A and B are shown apart, each in its own frame.
Chain A
Amino acid sequence: MIDIAAIQMIWLRDLIRFTRDRAQILGAIARPVLWLLIMGFGLGSSFGRVGETSYLEFIFPGIIALNLIFASFLSAISIIWDREFGFLKEILVAPIPRFSIAVGKAASGSTVSLLHGLVVMLFIPLIHVQLTLGQILLALPLMYLMAFVSTSLGILIACRMTSFEGFGTIANFVIMPLFLLSGAVFPLDNAPVWLKIISRLNPFTYGVDLLRGVFSGVMHYSVALDLSVLFFCAAGFLGLAVMAFEKMD
């Protein structure tokens, strides 16, 4: 079932393509700039503090989550490009199981989005947050786990999409709600009950919670709950993505 060479190939290919895609790298830098500067400094100036932390420090893990989610959806949706430009058939007629293709895609998408997430770390000096190397190293596997959840979800959606034009819809109806309702940019403590319920159903809520725990020590849920939700979603979405991939039109 697991074909290491196939997974390696898909992973390597996506990484090479990432390094050659200036627009993607630019996006990885522009997104945190916009959100950190405009939201962080703009909204932060009238928002003041969130509990013990400054607003910038509060949204910092949220912006990492934004880059992770955005990049992994973009990466998953490149499946549609591959179909359109023919490369997908080269992979589909090769003597490799489809299961490995889907796993390879999830692994490569997660790696590329981890790089996008790391770009946000470059802004650390700007936001007056003190982070130790240990904190950053601890955040990396958590970021990868979050990226894996959202890449798998992205593959699941991409397999059912027929054109790239649908990406705008996905961005508006999937990425932005997942991001905004994860507690990434505002605390949900005083939100109406229905919003709280939605945010509790959102897997990224638990990812953002973990990252915030690592960076500022402030958490809403227990580490065990956060991790179990993320692992459960990673496995579940990957399983569904594999099934969708095998059925893909």
Chain B
Amino acid sequence: MPIIEVEHLIKRYSGTVSGSAGFTAVDDLSFSVEPGELFGFLGPNGAGKTTTISVLCTLLAPTGGSAQVAGFDCVRESRQVREQIGIIFQDPSLDERLTAWENLRFHAMIYHIPPRERRTRIESVLEMVDLADRRNSIVKKFSGGMKRRLEIARGLLHRPKVLFLDEPTIGLDPQTRRKMWEFVHSLRSNHQITLFLTTHYMEEAEACDRVLIIDHGKLVALGAPQELKARYSSPEATLEDIFIQLTGHEIREEPAGSRDVTRTLRRWSRNLR
């Protein structure tokens, strides 16, 4: 049984009062992700990636179709879905005035981890991301890479079945990026976890079990990187060649402020309830 199941998902934004036209961010999208997969979700800016992730994370209600995560409906059973997922946001979302430990402890509280287990779980995720010796440092003093690692630790603390990584390596130096990927791969071999990744780095997408390319809200291609190369180009082609081939050369504009899950959420959260 797939861990993520999206069927005929549609998200349409109505025009504003000031007269701007509405647009369809996600247009009849269907796909599914198997448990344990590393799934790459690719597309140019404004293709509908963030909207889709927002629906899967229960932050946005779709206009049509359905989305299920871990067997729960993203609209009707949003709370259960939230318990099953972890999210590494594109922009940092730590409280920088708190220590690493406090950030994790507060996460443990709002994810209802029993008080008895909190300490050992926090210890173990801190070990995992190599921040155990910095547990009592204020996050403000952390480097970009350390903050990212702490966010990953936090995203894993409640042992989610699915981890969403929204452009997790953006703004990181090559060393940190490599380290993060080593970590992500070790995570996959040691835990039964599904990873749902968006990225603009095609070499990261090459490492995925399957990738989905979305453009203008529609599915353009879906398959293992090797399969896509065989289907659309030659085996020597890179995923980037295929990406450009399928989505065109023009540079995309996207509405200001729509890049990130929360900003989307901010605008459209009134549709939620």
Measuring CB to CB, which residues of chain A are less than 8 angstroms from any residue of chain B? Answer: 5-6, 8-9, 12-13, 16-17, 20-21, 83, 85-96, 246-249
Q: Which of B79, B92, B106 contacts A95 (CB 8 A)?
A: B79
Once the chains are docked, how many angstroms separate the CA of A131 from the CA of B94?
44
| Min CB gap A243→B, angstroms | 10
Complex contact B96–A85 (CB within 8 A): yes
Residues of the A chain whose Cβ atoms lie less than 8 Å from the Cβ of B59:
92-93
Residues of the A chain whose Cβ atoms lie less than 8 Å from the Cβ of B80:
95
Complex contact B83–A17 (CB within 8 A): no
Once the chains are docked, how many angstroms separate the CA of A5 from the CA of B109?
6
Contact with A along B257-271 (1 / 0, CB 8 A): 000011001110110
Once the chains are docked, how many angstroms separate the CA of A13 from the CA of B83?
22
A-B contact count (CB 8 A): 76
Interface residues of chain A: helix, strand, loop or mixed (majority): helix
| Min CB gap B195→A, angstroms | 17
The number of residues on chain B lying at the interface, defined by a beta carbon within 8 Å of a beta carbon of chain A, is: 33
B154 to chain A: closest residue by CB? A90
Complex contact A86–B92 (CB within 8 A): yes
Other than the given A13-B106, A89-B89, A95-B112, 13 more pairs (CB < 8 A) read A5-B110, A9-B106, A83-B262, A85-B95, A86-B91, A86-B94, A89-B261, A90-B93, A90-B154, A93-B59, A95-B110, A96-B110, A248-B269
| Min CB gap A25→B, angstroms | 14
Contact with A along B36-57 (1 / 0, CB 8 A): 0000000000000000000001
| Min CB gap B184→A, angstroms | 20
Complex contact A93–B106 (CB within 8 A): no
Q: Which of A6, A86, A95 contacts B262 (CB 8 A)?
A: A86
Residues of the A chain whose Cβ atoms lie less than 8 Å from the Cβ of B273:
246
| Min CB gap A147→B, angstroms | 22
Complex contact B266–A83 (CB within 8 A): yes
Residues of the A chain whose Cβ atoms lie less than 8 Å from the Cβ of B110:
5-6, 9, 91, 94-96
Residues of the A chain whose Cβ atoms lie less than 8 Å from the Cβ of B102:
13, 16
| Min CB gap A246→B, angstroms | 6
